[in-house]
Structure 1
Amino acid sequence: MRQKIFVLMLLIVVILTSVGCSKSEEDVVAKVDDEIITREQLDKRLSIALASSGLNLDDPQMAGFKDFYELQVLQLMIDELLIVKNAKSLGLKVNSGDVTKEINNLKAQFNSEKEFENYFNNQLKMSKKDIEKSVEVQLLTLALFEEITKDITDTEIDIQQYYEDNKDEFYQEEMVRARHILVETEEEAKEIIKQIQEGQDMAQLAKLKSIDPSAQYNEGDLDYFGRGDMVEPFEKAAFALEVGELTETPVQTIYGYHVIRVEDKLEARQKTFEEVKDELRERFIFQEKNEAFYNYVNELRANAQIENKLEEKIKEEMEKAAQDQEKQNSEGEQNEDQQVESDKSKEE
């Protein structure tokens, strides 16, 4: 199973190009051993990160957040330089076939090649080369992660005791598994209900007629969900149906009109330790691996010669602002004292 590593920002990595080339000191925001990160590289990375997250640092509500966000992104770039350098020093490699396979897996999450290109090329402003380098960095990071944590094969946590102490965590609420077809009009939904009642395959109809993009790969199967997971009209209709039952009339929500069929139901119950022990063991092993890798990256930082010019600049600006504020407060107090003395003189 592919691990999610704390240092990854999925596919918003822009590999650091022009590392080590001649740049003026004003252009450099960080030095990592014999490599540099430029203002231009940081700005590009910031642009991609902001576009993917939907954040707008020009928003008045985000005032004061810009410096923090820039420092976070720059630290990620520094860590990536250290990770890639260390991975290569250990002989870890990524071949072009693995990169292509990973990009194809990513494309499969989009409805079409055009949608994929629109998102990365137009919205994130990432070129084909950017994407390939991004994937290469992630695969190298994963390879290093697996190399460093390969000896962690079991957890030190007493999972039986954890289960006993946290039984509420393993209480399964009532759940429904439903398949749906979403269309724009009530008339369309009624016609689909009729077609299903006449024996047509609902999964195929979902792929052909549903406006829910996910229907192209899940054929309308929403898997199991509990109360509160869906919009109210949909939830109410789904939980009211029996297994195998189809809605007699379309269900209207803010998204359109739904045709719903319940595929399965799970009653509310307490899961046993036997049911959850493997999941628990895997969870804690992964946590311990993450902690080990985090500590490893901290060691890489400690052993590297890192000069974070941006951090130094921000600290200087903050210190100057604090000094200016202190001076302003002091002058204000002096003016108040002078005013008091003046008032006393007038009274005398």
Structure 2
Amino acid sequence: MRIRSLLSVAVLAAVLIGCGGAATTGGGAAATVDGHEIPRERLEAAVRDLTGDTADMDADQRNEAIASTQREVLSFLIQAQIIHQLAEDRGLSVDEGAADEQFQQDLDSFGGEEGLAQALASQPGILTVGLYRDVLIPASLRMDALREDLAGDLEVEEIETRSVRHILVETEPEAEAIVEELADGADFATLAQERSTDPGSGAQGGELGERARGAYVESFEAAVWDAEVGEVVGPVESDFGFHVLEVTATGTQEQAVGGGDLNQAAQMQVQQLLTEAFAAADVTVGPGLGEWDPEAQQVVAPDRVGQGGPAQPLAPGADPLEESGDAPVEE
């Protein structure tokens, strides 16, 4: 299972340097976001929990490492608070039971807290189990709720889809032989697993999934939409080789009016809302922790304000569709 990654590019890109012996910076708020305080204790607890060795650093290096870590973690907490307020403003809330269930599923997937901690530590940006449980999962669920809420406001239309499976081989005679074997009663999925040179779909019995028009390279696309359900078609030549294909089902999907996946259209609206919310948020950072840069959308050292481009807003952890390099999918 993939960890739900919500950290901004700035946090993910940095290797947070632990500072177990860091001195506390006093009570009060680490930051205030539109009147809502982020407790300094939460920041300090997260920083203390981050692993790493600063013993071989001199005092200046160690202080800078601690300050950098504080800024990165605080940026994450501020972004999560902005998401919280954005969802709340739209009347959306997170069920604590759902967050607890998600965390328990993750614990089970990684064999307990130690396994989850190791998985988090292997990410480009290090995140503590506590932050993952208490901040990242709720923020992720709020993002999902925002996307679903916005999707409900979009104008939609239904489009025709076709479910397809294929077997890809290098030569036309190979494809012709497969067509003959299928006509004699051979199992399509078995032949795909044994003979297809497309490793991605081959392992799945040749399945390419349900897709709308325009998903495939031209020759394959034409064959798909000319075929009858259950008809074996081939050989079909493309830049990948020679295909034997079968349309297994037809259906419909909803998409946003004007084209585009409904979830993607809603996600674009969420990202726009976040960009506007980050720019408009009234953020005050506690003494000694840096300053909020609305352009970079993160906490920076005082002398760096205005010098960075915007960080990528926090985003839900949906896995992108992974395509095989040999599948006839149009890029």
- TM-score norm. by structure 1 comes to 0.47
Structure with the greater relative contact order (CA < 8 A, sep ≥ 6): 1 or 2? 2
Q: TM-score, normalised by structure 2?
A: 0.49
Q: Which has the higher strand share?
A: 2
Structure with more of its chain in helix, by fraction:
1
